[in-house]
Structure 1
């Protein structure tokens, strides 16, 4: 992309005001990846759907965002970086309002898709514009500001989502985006339009984009709806599987032979990059799936309010923010593979520890493991990004960063569906197993009826106990599988060679 370098960087108050606007834009987009996590039970109740269907609000946004990220470069070169940023910002705000006004799950998911499509380009473009307006000697401050919003937003998401759901209503988690988006869009255009990039009439890989949308959408719908349709006993699920498989193969063939692919798959020829992407996909999928499951479990079966679940979930980000500078410093001065291994193993160890949870745990027994889990997060993501981008040529860095972000976001969406499906399926199996062994001699029923309860009420209490323990076992089983996935991801990283160069990770949006 050609940029207009004749414009001098901003300075003084104008520089920091513009930086604040760009950071705020990145903040609300990242915030929306987690603000809905604790809101799913409330949204599901408000729209009269199950909690499992409520997770479509998360997966639809993530998939749409993943699909739109690879288009950022083409959009910016074709229409201008500033124009695309301002347009996407305003559309993000409009779609957020539409999400809040949705009266059914179908319309909410449709508007979340549009919101994700608008939000995808905002993360890389906010970073690009920050680097453009800052003087070279202050580039470190620009990257630090952008990185802090990326780290803080996931912490604030669950807290803000919980408070708004409990005290205002679930539509408010979307409405709050609108004023921020409009302010950022309006003042962003006023202050940044002189930094507009030169326009290039580059063509887009329309066929590659269409094939990507087809196979990703088919696979996501299959994962979301499989449990409701009895999986491959359903003709619809079989058809989706065939479409996803054929679409994926066609996508691979087309992108590997296209001169200007929408996703440059050729970067996978570098072993270090391939191993890094596999590691981040396994680890981030495990992390995000467990992160989505935690507030669902706490609110549905542990008696937590959305606010309390938000506070517990947000604990994982506190130490992550504090440790991030150390992780960045070590990543630039030593082999990143031991850092990644230790960081991912730490996440796996904490998750395995959480697989021994009980239904009578206190708030701090739930929250403290999440707090300490945060130590491993920067040592997982920061050096892994450097390893991945240091394994490709400098000319491929931007494409490699976009593809890595696509895979990371997509793995989170797929993991959410798999975790939700497995959680419910395991709970059903556990319930069947427990029902056969609980109170075989009738002692519990006898004790309950001796207290004055009638037989129906006593059976209902026993049934509630069985259901609660079935869910608890299922939750622990999911944490156990997530922990093993972390361990596998940590082992995989040793297949990567040491990177031959230190990469500029500022492009890794």
Structure 2
């Protein structure tokens, strides 16, 4: 093996290992959140700040990481980010203090935001342009395969080593990524002039806006949005600060944190926008289905793992098929993009008949379709996006795409939680009315419930409470099921509409500067 090939292998391994470390750790935390809250002695309300800290600082890491990498080089930013993620994960594994855990999770989110966009730049620089599909496929596998693979690994780690193991596992992965990056990443000079000409006020504006928006979105559903003015204030102020940074940074600064002129190219603009419905699509297998199985049947991670595995294995076929087809030009990237969104919409439609009796086996077909569809969205979407970008703009483009992806992921998660809650609450009132439990018939309905229960006690007041409890639990479950179904219908409609937008995208590279000239 030549030294050049060895360097390519090490560099590519650094990007892949770092991206897989981040995405698997994210899913580990989501699956074991209840156990983590129990170990800390807190409830879901306090535990929500652990998620908020991560999601609030992730977009900050995306913007700052790419911005600093242009100045100090990819190597000087990537390696410290890997170290920060592994160190923060180790602190989270050892602490039993909520404040320290929130800080550790915030550090993990900041490091994750830096690592993810730099990982794709690492892969694109490693492979020649003719193998761009392979480079993007290796990167994209972390986003779509790692979260699904983490389910079974999470069960094994917790069973054998306890809950802290889901944080400790980042250490060996981080060490591999660090060593590969140290030996393989390119040594470049520092561009001090860019730093001197940067407008740090815009950088501060962007960071504050991302933190406020991410924190507000993650806490909005728990605090019922309009019932807590502080949440709405955080969301509105965060969005305003981000728009201000977006507007000022792209026009007045020599080295902007977000290069807005890239969005004058059609595929760059549409690619950033389509990242939003992609994140909504990924919520189906990554969030909605596990949440349903936890809430209705009351399943644990070991019982949910098989349905997530069903979305993992098809990707082992979907990725090679897409890479080879794009490499040799047998189909266009736009064709795969339409097929991917179509398969995800079909997966939503297959789950519309969900009932409270559904178990993981009932979701398998939809999960398999998602396992094929998600790679066929992300890989061709990135192919179209980077096709309009020249190498010198790579880090700026990665910042724009991943800021959109990160914020869209937070919005999609908030939409799923709020949408399911509002639909369930609406159906709950309708179903209670149908059972006769409206206020003016409450006494009659309660006594009817008492008469329907076994007479295990002569205390009719106790029987009245039991009747209300049984009816209330049944109605609650059914309202969640109906709300889940209507949410899937809305998601299917959104993904079907995105198919039309994807079909209208121009061919890859249509707006590259050298092509237009």
> CA separation in 2, counterparts of 1:377 and 1:369?
12
> CA separation in 2, counterparts of 1:215 and 1:315?
38
> CA separation in 2, counterparts of 1:380 and 1:229?
34
Q: 1:428 to 1:313 in 2, by over 3 A?
A: same
> CA separation in 2, counterparts of 1:53 and 1:350?
34
Gaps of 5+ in 2: 438-444, 513-517
Correspondence list, 1:23-42, <5 A = 23-42=16-35
Shift of 1:439: 6.4
Correspondence list, 1:419-434, <5 A = 419-434=416-431
Tell whether 2:172 aligns with 1:179: yes
Correspondence list, 1:298-317, <5 A = 298-317=293-312
> CA separation in 2, counterparts of 1:85 and 1:55?
29
Deviations 1:18-55 (A, max 9, x none): 75555323321221232223223333444455547645
Q: CA RMSD in A?
A: 3.4
Aligned to 1:448: 453
Tell whether 2:64 aligns with 1:67: no
Asked if structure 1 preserves the Cα contact closer than 8 Å seen for 2:152 and 2:302, the reply is: yes
Q: 1:218 to 1:37 in 2, by over 3 A?
A: same
Shift of 1:270: 1.9
Shift of 1:322: 1.0
Q: 1:297 to 1:123 in 2, by over 3 A?
A: same
For residue 374 of structure 1, give the secondary structure of its aligned residue in structure 2: helix
Aligned to 1:492: 501
> CA separation in 1, counterparts of 2:250 and 2:511?
27
How many residue pairs match? The answer is 493
Asked if structure 2 preserves the Cα contact closer than 8 Å seen for 1:223 and 1:417, the reply is: yes
Tell whether 2:208 aligns with 1:214: yes
Q: 1:483 to 1:396 in 2, by over 3 A?
A: same
Of 246, 250, 254, 2:240 maps to 246
Aligned to 1:82: 75
Deviations 1:173-195 (A, max 9, x none): 11211233245435653x347x4
Shift of 1:478: 2.3
Correspondence list, 1:31-430, <5 A = 31-47=24-40, 49=42, 51=44, 54=47, 56-58=49-51, 60-103=53-96, 105-126=98-119, 128=121, 146=139, 148-149=141-142, 151-165=144-158, 168-182=161-175, 184-185=177-178, 188-189=181-182, 191-192=183-184, 195-201=186-192, 202-203=194-195, 204-257=198-251, 258-288=253-283, 291-332=286-327, 333=329, 334-392=331-389, 395-430=392-427
For residue 375 of structure 1, give the secondary structure of its aligned residue in structure 2: helix
> CA separation in 2, counterparts of 1:395 and 1:42?
46
For residue 242 of structure 2, give the secondary structure of its aligned residue in structure 1: helix
Asked if structure 2 preserves the Cα contact closer than 8 Å seen for 1:391 and 1:500, the reply is: yes
Deviations 1:56-105 (A, max 9, x none): 54454344233212333443344443333322222211100122234355
Q: 1:289 to 1:116 in 2, by over 3 A?
A: farther
Asked if structure 2 preserves the Cα contact closer than 8 Å seen for 1:283 and 1:485, the reply is: no
> CA separation in 2, counterparts of 1:383 and 1:467?
41
Tell whether 2:421 aligns with 1:438: no
Deviations 1:134-178 (A, max 9, x none): 899999877665555555422222222344345544332112112
Deviations 1:196-238 (A, max 9, x none): 2222213144222222222222222322333444433434234
> CA separation in 1, counterparts of 2:239 and 2:406?
20
Asked if structure 1 preserves the Cα contact closer than 8 Å seen for 2:145 and 2:315, the reply is: no
Asked if structure 2 preserves the Cα contact closer than 8 Å seen for 1:352 and 1:484, the reply is: no
Asked if structure 2 preserves the Cα contact closer than 8 Å seen for 1:273 and 1:389, the reply is: yes
> CA separation in 2, counterparts of 1:500 and 1:24?
29
Q: 1:397 to 1:238 in 2, by over 3 A?
A: closer
Q: 1:135 to 1:9 in 2, by over 3 A?
A: farther
Q: 1:164 to 1:178 in 2, by over 3 A?
A: same
For residue 31 of structure 2, give the secondary structure of its aligned residue in structure 1: coil
> CA separation in 1, counterparts of 2:74 and 2:191?
11
Shift of 1:261: 0.9
> CA separation in 2, counterparts of 1:10 and 1:230?
55
Q: 1:148 to 1:162 in 2, by over 3 A?
A: same
Of 491, 512, 515, 1:482 maps to 491
Q: What is the TM-score when the length of structure 2 is the normalising length?
A: 0.83
Shift of 1:365: 0.8
The answer to which of 204-213 and 233-242 deviates more is 233-242
Aligned to 1:4: none
Gaps of 5+ in 1: 1-6, 504-509
Q: What is the TM-score when the length of structure 1 is the normalising length?
A: 0.84
For residue 35 of structure 1, give the secondary structure of its aligned residue in structure 2: helix
> CA separation in 1, counterparts of 2:376 and 2:356?
31
> CA separation in 2, counterparts of 1:230 and 1:143?
39
> CA separation in 1, counterparts of 2:391 and 2:8?
29
